[in-house]
Structure formats: structure tokens, C-alpha cells
Structure 1
Amino acid sequence: MAEAAVSFVVDKLGNLLVEELILLHGVNDQVERLRRELQRMQCFLRDADTKRKRDERVKHWVKEIRDVAYEAEDVIDTFIINAADTHRGRRRPGVFGFLKSCLRATDVVGRHRASAQITAVMDKISEISASRITYDIRNLEDENGGGVERRVPARRPIVPHVEDSDVVAFDGHMSALVEQLLHHSEKRSVVSIVGIGGLGKTTLARKVYNSIDVKREFGIRVWITVSQDYESVKLLNEILEQVRKYKEKLEQREVMEKLRDSLKEKRYLIVMDDVWSRDVWEEMKAVFPDDKNGSRVLITTRFLNVAKFADPNATPYELRLLTDEESLELLLKKAFANQDVQANCTEDLRSIGRELVKLCGNLPLALVVVGGLLSIREKEYIVWRRVLETMSWTVEGKECMAILALSYEDLPHHLKSCFLYLAAFPEDTEIQAGRLIRLWIAEGFIPRQGKGTIEETAEDCLEELAQRCMVQVASRKSTRRSIESCRVHDLLREFAVSGAKEDAFLVIYNTPNQDATSPPGPGRRAAFHNLDGLQGLIIPPNLRSLLAFDVNFRDFCAQFKLLRVIDLSDVCGIKSLPEEIKAMSHLRYLGLSDCTELEVIPSSTGHLQNLETLDVTETKVGKLSPTLWNIKKLRHVLVDRMNRVEGPPPYADLPNLQTLETVVVPKSWEGGLPNITSVRKLGLRFGFQDRGKILPPLLQKLHHLLSLTVQTTDDDVTIPSGIDTSAFPCHHHIQSMYLVGRWYSTTVGCHEFPPHLVELKLSDSGLEHDPMPTLEKLQNLRKLKLWGNAFLGKKMICSAGGFPQLQTLKLDGLEQLEEWCLEADAMPKITRVRMWECEALRVVPEFQRLPNLQELQLWKLPRELVDRISVDGGEDHYKIQNVQSVHIRR
């Protein structure tokens, strides 16, 4: 694992020699020699990383290399900070002004000090290098004829990794569990799935939770993940949020009362995944009323005593290991992903597969991970034999962790860093891919390659981790089918946490009563989970990243000058950031989303010339300093669309900006436009009608635009007619549009929308004529939402052959809609329809004409209409009886 740390420092020094050439004046030659020395040591680390498992002396040698690499990083970063402070204090313009300042005595002293420190580091490297002969540590790259680093693979077509489709031997389990949930007793009862880690408890529970019969029978379904470090009040608030569909943060007594009231007289299913303690059920059981209507609680746990305590009268469902044949089937399914196993798998490979099954101990997680490893290898006997031989050192009783280690060691170093970084997120978190990718980039993990953006390369890295089964795909975007969110299996996260700690890659502070007197180690990054603040904690002084999850920071102090990443998303108690933040010259990422008390971003953020991402969504921040827009390296600026934050001034030169949303168009844009030509995701708010005229010249420049949001701030302002992109280069690239506000005419024309549009949302459009005859001609549209009086008419028709690719349709708040006609063969691929608050609807749509419809949500529709589709003799029930899952809420 140390290889990843040293490789990162080598790459970073190389980048600094290019990006900070001026600030490194006087020591750049030494920095280059230091980089080469570390690169030379890097060649021996792969052998050493393997041997340290069996030799404590080698383990110590690897630690020395890692520590000296970190020391080198500290010396260079500190020198750059001091040089930047000096340069900023003297305010000498241009390169020559700075070089002149370097002749001053204080600068000479600083360079001399840095030079001496670099020399000391190089002496340590020489000493460590000499000792490797004693431990017989070899340069494996020379022996294998390879270079130090494998190339990042070129962008490839995305092949979605669907976890559930690869499950083996779960059909019988599913049937038995569904039977218990639906027919066992009218009394509220607890059904438990019990088994060791890696058996597939969560996967099985999720399949049951999403099954057609379960969706149909339970009006309320809730999924929460408990894990070891839980707080009951947070779990209760999470359940209430899923039940009531909006978020609150209530105290224990209040949330228990509201939750019990919300569940009363309802048939509900509550899934509590990953329960470790009997206390969980003891603290929460009172909020689950027993109205003798067949409500259920489904628990997954590793511990039989937890299951029996939750319901002594029920028999826990104990998962078994897979049989040899089931194990081989699962392994080959993963190894030959998206291929015909029977046609492509030779008997020689099956023979190796059977031996691999034995080493995996028939454990599904181990089989999936090894299968993921084989999926990226050649399907040849000698290659699979080499994998088998590599696994021969596994220790009895620790086979799974050894297999995870094998898959980890097979990763290129940048993916090792990406994987270890997942340990920063709390257990069982659904991680948003956009946020993760921006963090990876800010950390410097993602190598630049080819013509695509670095974000696209990072997307490929996440895809590769998914293909290797190191992460689980939770959801995919409807536009480019790239990963939208992901999860990490408990055991894989446990492995990542262990590796991150061993390599001083990351320190996790995760309990309020954590012993603050004993430092956790020299971590480069710190993640804080469920704490009340930083007070009293011993935090490594040379942090590069600080990430906080659900923490109450009463004060935030910019005490870590070397930070590259600050992510305080969902942190309480922060109303403003200190002016001293300007000292953080290395800062790349400033994430403050969901800091609901935050009001002020200081003007000193304009000094952060390396800043790439600023996220202040879901905050009270209503203004950004004009100096912020002087930062040329900005790539992503996300602000809360309700706070009316003005966009950059017309003189702003932002050639790297990829995301800008959602900002108010300032009056100054009428006289000129900022340089944001690289933007791919843009969100604009228009507060004055006459400012709409800037949209055409702006869109004319945005050749790479993929997503466009346009919103008006007042009822008397219409969506600008310039939204018609047909004359602009971006017309054929835009895949997503979100348009909020009154349309500039009473109808829409097909030419006004890009031909490759995949996702469209219209809100408050006030259209008087049925938009469906126009919208159904969009050949690539997969997701459509009409919301909040987007349409004011009484009748809407979807004709035969229309919407050929549409999969999801949401009709919310169409208050005057009385009839929605569905002709035969309309929307042939639709799988999900939602109708909320269409309270004038008189006729039940012909849902039986949608053969692929799987899920139908009908909320707050007229009572007489709901009665007509009732299962108990409703005259229109035939229209929905073939839909797999129907949710009706009055």
C-alpha cells in the first residue's frame, strides 16, 4: 500500500515543477533530483509491499520510505506556502517583480532552509536505499520488463454493473422471505436475516424490498442502515423523512411521536440493515405500532442473539454458504461479465475456477471480488493459474481479507488511492459520484490523459472500481448512463479503513468518546464522523484533507495551512469562514453544502488561486466576492438556486470552468460576457425580462454544454425565447434541460429542444396547449417531468408511437388536468409513472396499454377516482392490475 503513497508524492512533485515553477525558484533543481530519487525507490516498493506481510523488518523499511516521501511533500509544500505569502505581501506584479523580490535577504534565508531540508531528505533516502539489499528487495519492474506505472486505460464504452442480476441461489431465499413478510401473521412481527459478513444479507434484503409483491402490499416502505456507530435519533429522523417525503431534524421525543402517528393504521415495511446490537431494537421498537394489519420489520444482522431478541417468537432466517456449483456459477458470471459463459469458458478455466472457489471458502463477496479481478484479465489458462498461485498465501480463517488484499494490490497506484479514499465516508453511505469525483481530482489522484476532461477520466476510474467489484453501483444517470451514486460493502470498507490507517493515508475520528489523549498516527487526511467538535482531539499537524460528516463544529479555525481539501458538508454551527482561510494556498476543494447556518464566504477566498471546487448549495450564502472570479483554476461552482447569488462579472476569465449553477444573470452581462466557454453544466436565473437577450450570444460560445437549467425569479418574467438552441453549436450536445418559469408562448415547438435530449423538466410553464404532441417527438428522451402547472389545459394525449425511449414520466401538480389519454403503443419502454396532486383528474388513464410499466405512484388524486381503481371491486381496477408495483396514497 505504501507504493500508492510514494507514487502520489512522485506525481505531485512532477506537477509542482510545472505549475509552481516561479515559487520553486532557487530549489527547483533539487526538487527534480528528489523526485527522481523517490521514483527510483518506487520501483522496489511492489516487491517490498508483498514481503512485508511475512517480514517485520521489511514492513519497517516500507514505513520508512512512506514517511520520507511524506516528509519531502511537507518540505516542498511549506516552502511554497511561505514563498506565496512573501509574494502576496509585497504585491510585486508579474514574473520579474517576483524574481526581484527573491533577491531579498528573507527569501534567500527561506531558500537556504528549504535546500538544507531537501538535502536531509535525500540523505535519508540514500540510507534507506542501501538497506534494501539486506532485505533482498528487488526491482520487480525491471524483472518484468515494465515501467513503474501502468497506463490509465483509454475511455471505453460503459458497461453497467448490475449487482442483483449476478446473484446466485437467492430465488429460494426470496420466496421464503416474501412469504414471511406477506402471509405469516396479521400481528406486527420482525423477520431477521442472519449470517456472517460477505454472505449477501444486504443484497438479499434489497431484492426482497424491491420485489413486485412486496411493493404492491406495503403502502409504506422504508430502508435504513444502522451499522456499528449509530444514533437512534438520527435513524428515527431518517425513517420519518422517508415516510413523510420531507426532511426535518427533530429531538428524540418529538420525532418518536410524529413517526408513530405517521405509521398508525398504515401497513408498513421497515428494513433495518446491518444491526449490531440488541440496543437498537430496544430503543426504537416503540415507534412501530401494531395495528394487526400485517406490518413488518426486516432486520439484517451478523448476530443470532440480536435476531432472537427482536422477536423471540420468530425463527431467524440463517443464510448458508454457497455450494461448490453455486460458487462456480457466481465466479464465472463475474469473470465473463456480459458474455456467454457456456460459449466462452473452457474446461481448463473451469478447473482453475473450482480451485479458486475452494480458496474463497464459498463466500459470495470473495467470489464476486475474484470474479471482478478475472473480468479484466485475458481468458487464458496461464493467466488464471497465475492468479490462483498468487492467492496461495491466504491464511486460514482470513481468506476473505486476503482475497480483498489481492484485488487491491492488482490496482494501479492511482486507483489504490481512489479506493482507500472511500474509507473516509461513514459505513453504508450512498456516495454521490459527482462529489467523489471532484474530491479525487482535488486530492491529485487522477492522472491527466488524452483529449477528454479529467472528470471523464475520474468517471472511468469509478467505472473500473465497479467492474472490479470494489464498489457497488447504487444508481446510474439517465443521460450518459455513468454512475450517479455508489456504495462500499462493509468488509471492503473495513479493508480500506485498515489499509488507510496502516499507510497513514487517512485517520478516522468516529465516536464522541474517542480517546483524545493518544494520537491516531501521522495521517495525511482526517475524517470526522458523529462528533460534537474538534475540541480536545489530537489532529495530525500536516493534514492535506479534512472531511466532516454530521459533525457540530462550534468554531472553525483555519489552522491547517497545507490543506488541499476541506469538505464540511452537513456540518452544524458554522455561520462564516475566517478571513485567515487565504493562507491555504494549496486548497483545491471547499465543500460546504448543507451547512444550513452558513451565511458568509469571506472575500479572502479570492486569494485561493488553486481552488477548483466551491460548493455552497443548501446554505444561506447569498453573495460571492468578486475576487473569487479571478481564480483561473476554478472548475466547479455550485450555489443554492434560491439564494440569488450573482454570476461572474463580464471580465472574468474562467477557461477551466466545467460547472456553474445556479446563478442570477447580472445586469453587467448586457455589456459583455465572461469567458466560460468550457462549461458543461450551466444553471441561470433571470430576474428581469430584458436580460433574456444575453442567452443567444452566451449559448453561441458554449460548444461543450451538456446540461442547461434556466429559471425565472418572478412571475412576470418569462423563460427567454433564446432558449431555442437550434442555431447554436451546443444544440446536438445538450442532454439535460430543466426549465422553471412561464414559457414565452402558450405552446412549445419541437425545434426548441435539442434532438439528443435525454432528460427534460418543465415547471410553472403555464402552457395552455397540450405539450405532449411536441414532446413525444423527442426520439432520445428517457426522463420527463411536468411539474407545478407546467400545463394549464384539461386534456392531454400521448399518441401511438410517441416517446419511443421514455422510461420515466412524472406529472406533479397539474391542477387543471381532467383527462390523460394513452393510445395503444404509446411510450413502449415506459417503466415508471408518477402522478402527484392532479386533483382535477376525472378519468383513470389507460395504464393497461403500457406493457412494460413496472411502478405506478398515484398520490393525492380525487377520492372517487382512487375508489374506482380499488382492488376491492373497483370498476377501473383492470387498468392497473398488470402493473407490478402500485403505490396509492390519498
Structure 2
Amino acid sequence: MEAALVSAATGALKPVLGKLATLLGDEYKRFKGMHIEIKSLSRELVAMEAFLLKMSEEEDPDVQDKVWMNEVRELSYDMEDSIDDFMQSVSSEDKKPDGILEKMKNSLGKMKARRRIGNEIGDLKKQIIEAAQRNERYKAREAFSKAKNTTIDPRALDIFKHASELVGIDEPKAEVIKLLTKGVSTQEQVKLVSIVGSGGMGKTTLANQVYQDLKGEFKCRAFLSVSRNPNMMNIMRTIFSEVSEKDYANTEAGSIQQLISKTAYFLADKRYFVVLDDIWDVDTWHVLKHAFPVKSSGSIIITTTRINDVAESCRSTPFSGDIYCIRPLDMVHSRQLFYTRLFNAEENCPSYLKKVSEHILRKCAGLPLAIVAISGLLANTERTEGPWKQVEDSIGRALQRNPSVEGMMKILSLS
């Protein structure tokens, strides 16, 4: 939906920019007053188009930006109409009327038309600038508001939980550790495991638990999130900072290639353990992998991703890799997570809520984040069958209306 909105706004701007470029050509140079206005307007719209194209890369544009994009689209349509009127009035000058009186009337009419159209274009330019300024003004207020009340990614909180608080983690953790450590003592290459699964399955939590268990065996280690739109310069500086135990501020920026070379040189004769969490595309991995020497006996890498092609790319040459497909929680662990959060134990759940609870858990399909989100919602709901049944019947809508689980819903929607 957001992508369609951006596309509609940029689509409306393109013909306007094309016609403004025509008006700046030699054919219309004689209209000097309008030429200046058109040049200024054209610069404004080019900058606006560049911003809209950048906006198309956003996962979730905010409401204020969406309102502004609608304004841009409507103003673009009005502007195109005015430009068409002006071009038509100019082209009609080729038709020469007969008689002095007709010529005077025709000339006066054209002057009025051009003045009117010029005023319209000037007014539309003013509206475009005002819309942009209004958008910036309210976005500044919104940024201040968000700074005071920031939504924290629930996955970031989960990695700080003690292992005893996590449900169903022991078996997958043991399986990943086994994949990482089998044959490590005899092989020269780095061992890599790519954990793959949809959003909310607990990939980050699992990777962090393995990291906490094994990091003590490595002097050079790093754990960082790559994310969907990574800043590769910051990521490479963070990796070098962590493996070399230097403050981030004391690492030189340089170029990405220089940072990769510097990191690879530093790790060349060392055992290291690196976790690269949440990789979204193959190209990102192809850049990052060059920072890690392949011939480093005893070193290990974990990557996490929700995309199978990325997992396949991570585990292939030059690393000796495995893919670990994270599984949803079974019903036993799903119940444990759900009832512990709501009642401290399954035995404390009232009998009249058992049936509806089972139906809700089936809908959650073993997805830990969904179970956490639903139980968080139910914790603030009257503990009677009616309201719980309503949540069961409209889980999606109920979640979307509840601000306490907004961050979780963003993660689930990305899946």
C-alpha cells in the first residue's frame, strides 16, 4: 500500500517535470517573468521527486509522510492542467486574426490568459513549498515525541532474558552448538551455521543464547544486527571495534573496503566468534563475508535470516556451513509460555478459559512472538470467556488496535 502511494506521487510528478523542462526550452524563452518562476518550481519538484524515491525504500512510512504524498499528487495534477493551458494559449498565437480590432482583442485576451496562468503556477509553487514546510514542521514535533516515548523492539529485550526464563530454548541451542563444534578441531576452515525462519520465531534469541554459552572460548568476538537497510560503514566499524576491543569512536572510518581489509588482517591469525543477526539480502552477505578469514581453524560464525536464499548463500563456499531451520514451539512449550505469562502456571488457569486458550494457541501456530503478543493483550482483558472469545475470533484486528503490541505487529507483518 505504502509503495503504491509513493509510486502514485512520483508518477504524478514525472509528467509535470517533463513539461516544465519543455517550458525552459528556447521556444518559451521570451516569457522572461514566467521563466524565472518555472525554473525555481522545477528545482523544487526535482528535490521533491528525489525525496519520494528515497521514501520508496522505507518499510513503513509514517502517517504524516503519507498525507504529504497525497498533497503532492493532487498539486501535481493541478499544476499539469495549468501548464497545459499555458502551452495551449501560446500555441494559438500562430493563428493570426484579421483586422486591427480583432488583433487587439486577441492580444489582450492572451495577455490576461498568460497572467492568469502565471499566477496559478506561482500559487501552486507556493502551495508545494508550504506543504513541504508543514510536513517538516510536524515531523520535527513527531521526532521529539518519539524521543520521549520510543518503542523498543521486543526482540532486543528478549536477548537480555536469562536462559531460565526462555521456553523451549534448550533443544535448539544444543543442536546449533553441535553443528558449530562438530569436526572443528580437525578442519582448517571456519565453521558457519545460518539460522533461518520467519520473523518472530526466536532466531535472535537462539543465536544470542549460543553466543552467551560459547563466547568465553574466544578472545575476538562480536554480535551485531545487520537489519533490512544496513549502513555498511557503521556495521564494519562496529565489527572491527568489537573484535579488536577498541572503542567505536577510536576506529577510523576510511572506506568500506579499507575496513574490510583491516578487519580481515586483524583476524588472520586469531580464533573468532561472530554473530551477524537479521541479514536480509545476498549482496549484503557477499560484502560482509570478506571481513572474515576462511582459513582460521576453530573460528565460528552464526548468521540469522528469514530468507532461504540468504541462508543458502551463507553456508556455501568458501565457508563450511550448515543451515538450521528454526522450528515453531510445540504445543507443550506453547502452553508453558502462554500460561506462565498470564497465570504463572497452567494449573492456575480457570477451567472456563482452558478451551478458548487452546483455540488461541492453535492460531498462534507455535510462533513465540505471536504468543507473547496475544498473552500481553489478554493480560489487560477481563478474565471471562466472552472477551477472550472475541480476541480469538479477531486476533489480527485486536492486535492492531492495541498500542502495547505495536512493535511486535510490525515484526510479524514483515513476515
Using structure 2 for the length normalisation, give the TM-score: 0.54
- Aligned partner of 2:194 among 168, 192, 195: 192
Give 1:408 deviation, angstroms: 4.3
Structure number with the higher strand fraction is 1
1:523-562 superposed Cα distances (whole Å, 9 cap, x missing partner): xxxxxxxxxxxxxxxxxxxxxxxxxxxxxxxxxxxxxxxx
1:278 alignment partner in structure 2: 282
Q: Distance in 1 between matches of 2:222 and 2:233?
A: 16
1:251 aligns with 2:258: no
* Structure 1 residue ranges without an equivalent (≥5): 1-62, 68-159, 395-401, 411-415, 417-464, 472-487, 498-890
Taking structure 1 as reference, are residues 361 and 173 closer, same or farther at Cα in structure 2, changes over 3 Å only? same
Paired letter, 2:172? H
Alignment of 1:60-459 (within 5 A): 163=161, 165-185=164-184, 186=187, 187-211=189-213, 214-244=214-244, 245-247=246-248, 248=251, 249-312=253-316, 314-336=321-343, 339=344, 341-378=345-382, 380-382=383-385, 385-393=386-394, 402=396, 405-410=397-402, 416=403
Return the letter of the residue paired with 2:315: D
Identity %: 27
How far apart are 1:208 and its partner, in Å?
A: 1.2
Q: Report the equivalent of 2:12.
A: none
Alpha-carbon distance, 1:409 to partner: 1.8
AA in 1 matched with 2:368: P
> Residues 195 and 342 of structure 1: is their aligned pair in 2 closer, same or farther, counting only changes over 3 Å?
closer
Sort the Cα spacing of 1:183 and 1:255 in 2 relative to 1 into closer, same or farther, 3 A: same
Query: Residues 844-859 of structure 1: matches in 2 within 5 Å?
Result: none
SS at match of 1:348: helix
Q: Which amino acid aligns with 1:492?
A: K
SS of equivalent to 1:316: strand
Structure-2 change in CA distance of 1:179 and 1:218 (3 Å)? farther
Give distance in 2, aligned partners of 1:284 and 1:163.
28
- The CA deviation string for residues 481-531 of structure 1, in whole angstroms up to 9 with x for no partner, is xxxxxxx55x53575x9xxxxxxxxxxxxxxxxxxxxxxxxxxxxxxxxxx
Counting only pairs closer than 5 Å after superposition, residues 719-798 of structure 1 correspond to structure 2 as none
Letter in 2 for 1:225: S
Q: Residue type of the partner of 2:369?
A: L
Quote the offset at 1:201 in angstroms: 0.8
Residues 316 and 233 of structure 1, relative CA distance in 2, 3 Å threshold: same
| Contact map agreement 2:335 2:346 (CA 8 A) in 1 | no
Change in CA separation of 1:494 and 1:358 when aligned onto 2, cut-off 3 Å: closer
1:540-579 map, 5 Å: none
Structure with bigger RCO (C-alpha 8 Å, 6+ apart)? 2
SS of 2:322's equivalent in the other structure is coil
Query: 2: CA distance between counterparts of 1:319 and 1:358?
Result: 18
SS at match of 2:223: strand
* d(CA) in 2 for partners of 1:253, 1:246: 20
CA contact (8 A) 1:220 1:267 kept: yes
CA shift in 2, pair 1:198/1:294, >3 Å: same
Q: Distance in 2 between matches of 1:295 and 1:345?
A: 47
> What are the Cα deviations for residues 290-318 of structure 1, in whole angstroms up to 9, with x where unaligned?
34321111011112221121223533100
2:356–2:392 contact (8 Å) kept in structure 1: no
Contact kept, 8 Å, 2:281 with 2:310, in 1: the verdict is: yes
Q: Is the CA contact (8 Å cut-off) linking 1:263 and 1:289 kept in structure 2?
A: yes
**1:253, distance to aligned residue in structure 2 (A):** 2.6
Q: Secondary structure at the match of 1:230?
A: coil
Where 2:227 maps in the other structure, the secondary structure is coil
Residues 314-341 of structure 1 deviation map (CA, whole Å, 9 limit, x = unaligned)? 33100122222221221112223xx3x1
Q: Any gaps of 5 or more consecutive residues in structure 2?
A: 1-62, 68-156
Rounded Cα–Cα distance in structure 2 between residues aligned with 1:193 and 1:179: 13
Deviation at 1:166, TM superposition (A): 4.0
Determine the C-alpha separation between the residues in 2 that align with 1:264 and 1:409. 52
Contact 1:189 1:311 in 2 (8 A): no
In the alignment, is the contact (CA less than 8 A) between 2:264 and 2:293 conserved in 1?
A: yes
In structure 2, do the counterparts of structure 1 residues 349 and 390 end up closer, same or farther at CA, with 3 Å as the change threshold? closer
Q: Give distance in 2, aligned partners of 1:326 and 1:290.
A: 38
- How far 1:163 sits from its partner (Å)? 4.3
**Structure-2 change in CA distance of 1:377 and 1:171 (3 Å):** same
CA distance in 2, matches of 1:215, 1:333: 30
Larger relative helix fraction: 2
Q: What is the CA–CA distance in structure 2 between the aligned matches of 1:347 and 1:295, rounded to whole Å? A: 52
> Residues 218, 357 of structure 1: CA spacing in aligned structure 2 closer, same or farther, 3 A cutoff?
same
Q: 1:391 to 1:343 in 2, by over 3 A?
A: closer
SS at match of 1:226: strand
Q: 1:242 to 1:315 in 2, by over 3 A?
A: closer
Deviations 1:212-248 (A, max 9, x none): xx02222222112112212433321110122232123
On the 8 A contact 1:335/1:373 being kept in 2, the answer is no
Counterpart AA for 1:335: L
TM-score (structure 1 length as normaliser): 0.26
The residue that corresponds to 2:112 in the other structure is none
Counterparts in 2 of 1:348 and 1:359: CA distance versus 1, 3 Å = same
* Superposition CA RMSD, Å: 2.9
| Alignment deviations for residues 175-206 of structure 1 (CA, whole Å, 9 cap, x no partner) | 11122223442420221111111111111111
CA contact (8 A) 1:166 1:330 kept: no
Using the alignment, how far apart are the partners of 1:363 and 1:258 within structure 2?
40
For residues 366 and 342 of structure 1, do their structure 2 counterparts lie closer, same or farther at Cα, with a shift above 3 Å needed? Answer: closer
In structure 2, C-alpha distance between the alignment counterparts of 1:492 and 1:391, rounded to whole Å: 20
Quote how far apart the aligned CAs of 1:381 are: 3.4
Label 1:184 to 1:331 Cα distance change in 2 as closer, same or farther (>3 A).
Answer: farther
Task: Give the length in aligned residue pairs.
Answer: 250
SS in 2 for 1:225: strand
The 3-state SS of whatever aligns with 1:179 is: helix
